[in-house]
């Protein structure tokens, strides 16, 4: 095993542990659709910033490469970290037309990744948005497929659409459903159609599957009404098929009163026990101007500061009272966080109209 792979697997393990403490429940459906070997392109909807690739990476056995928006790579240190975790920058028009030429080098790397029988993750909507529907797909992923198949005549690539559904994006704790679709054999499509038609067929098939893999509510005049009714009924969006059936049959329950969150006192205990990381989070939160990045920054701060902070406090307790008290403190602290995360009532949806990145 290469050092880069070992590093990726090590970080993947730590991130998976972090997500376990961060997420109320992770539901994975259709994992049997993932080939154990061979080139795979995962095409994923993108509702929740940079935590989306984290959930993908930690919930399938393959070592994945990711195409991530280039803006995330601006700082040299962050650039090195992201690239070491198999993330590659993809440039969009909003990054500047002169930057688009850099994509050709990235595409060449993608061709080689697929030819090496590895897996690539791409978000074909071209941007993140927490709205509960599939946005029009960009053709970038089809260019990668066609380019790789043209360059390597013996290569076959399976496209697997993946649907991500969060109960309440930006709310802690929340549930997430990861639903893998059926493989699409790109070689058959490519060899039996012109490039232009191949693009349309692949985009159409991926979009169709994505719409079935999430709670897809068409973005029309009824969208806000349906979402409001679902939220008022406190529907579990992660029960994707059940929720879609309610919408189709117009059997959404009446408004339900929010149940009592009996573990809420534990939250205040966690704040007291983690006061400095919590202060850092409150300061960062005020600067976030997109709802889709709340979970990204929240998880990054939790993952980066809480283990160190708890370790330092454990060492401090051991210095004054001995290791038995220190380990007891650490275990109880982790159990309290875990109980709150796993048993807390789902939080309320953040209102787009009042969120401006400044309200704490």
Per-residue pLDDT of the chain (360 residues), as tens digits, is 567 778 888 888 999 999 999 999 999 999 999 999 999 999 999 999 889 999 999 998 888 999 887 777 878 887 888 888 888 888 776 666 666 777 888 899 999 999 999 999 999 998 889 999 999 999 989 999 999 999 999 999 999 999 999 998 888 999 999 999 999 999 999 999 999 999 999 999 999 999 999 999 999 999 999 999 999 999 999 999 999 999 999 999 999 988 899 999 999 999 999 999 999 999 999 999 889 999 999 999 999 999 999 999 999 999 999 999 999 999 999 999 999 999 998 654 544 443 443 333
Written in H, E and C, the secondary structure of the chain is: CCHHHHHHHHHHHHHHHHHHHHCCEEEEECHHHCCCCCEEEEEECCCCCCHHHHHHHCCCCCCEEEEEEHHHHCCHHHHHHHHHCCEEEECCHHHCHHHCCHHHHHHHHHHHHHHCCCEEEECCCCCCCCCCCCCCCCCHHHHHHHHHHHHCCCCCEEEEEEEEEECCCCCCCCEEEEEECCCEEHHHHHHCCCHHHHHHHHHHHHHHHHHHHCCCCCCCCCHHHHHHHHHHCCCCCCCHHHHHHHHHHCCCCCCCCCCCCCCHHHHHHHHHHCHHHHHHHHHHHCCCCCHHHHHHHHHHHHHHHHHHHHHHHHHHHHHHHCHHHHHHHHHHHHHHHHHHHHHCCCCCCCCCCCCCCCCC
Distance CA 167, CA 178 (A): 12
Q: Which domains does the chain have, with CATH numbers?
A: 3-213 (3.40.1130.10), 217-257 (no CATH), 264-343 (no CATH)
Are 44 and 209 contacting, i.e. CB atoms less than 8 angstroms apart? no
């Amino acid at each position: 095993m290469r050092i880069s792979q070992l590093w990726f697997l090590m970080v993947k393990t730590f991130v998976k542990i972090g997500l376990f403490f961060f997420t109320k429940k992770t539901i994975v459906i259709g994992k049997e659709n993932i080939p154990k070997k061979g080139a795979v392109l995962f095409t994923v909807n993108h509702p929740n910033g940079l935590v989306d690739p984290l959930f993908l990476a930690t919930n399938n056995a393959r070592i994945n490469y990711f195409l991530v928006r280039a803006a995330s790579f601006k700082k040299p240190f962050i650039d090195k970290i992201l690239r070491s975790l198999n993330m590659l920058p993809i440039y969009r028009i909003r990054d500047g037309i002169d930057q688009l030429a850099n994509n050709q080098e990235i595409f060449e790397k993608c061709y080689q990744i697929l030819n090496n029988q590895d897996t690539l993750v791409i978000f074909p909507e071209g941007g993140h948005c927490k709205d509960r529907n599939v946005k029009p797909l960009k053709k970038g992923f089809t260019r990668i497929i066609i380019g790789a198949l043209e360059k390597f005549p013996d290569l076959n690539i399976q496209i697997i659409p993946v649907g991500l559904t969060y109960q309440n994006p930006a709310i802690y704790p929340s549930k997430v459903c990861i639903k893998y679709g059926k493989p699409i054999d790109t070689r058959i499509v490519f060899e039996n159609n012109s490039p232009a038609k191949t693009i349309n067929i692949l985009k159409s098939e991926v979009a169709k599957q994505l719409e079935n893999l999430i709670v897809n509510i068409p973005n029309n005049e009824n969208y806000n009404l349906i979402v409001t009714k679902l939220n008022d009924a406190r529907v579990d969006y992660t029960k994707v098929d059940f929720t879609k059936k309610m919408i189709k049959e117009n059997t959404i329950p009446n408004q339900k009163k929010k149940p009592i969150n009996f573990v809420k006192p534990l939250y205040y205990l966690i704040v007291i026990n983690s006061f400095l990381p919590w202060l850092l989070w409150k300061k960062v939160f005020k600067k976030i101007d997109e709802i889709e990045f709340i979970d990204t920054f929240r998880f990054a701060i939790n993952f980066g500061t809480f283990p160190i902070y708890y370790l330092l406090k454990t060492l401090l307790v051991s210095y004054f009272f001995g290791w038995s008290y220190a380990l007891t403190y650490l275990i109880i602290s982790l159990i309290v966080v875990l109980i709150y995360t796993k048993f807390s009532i789902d939080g309320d949806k953040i209102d787009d109209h009042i969120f401006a990145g400044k309200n704490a």
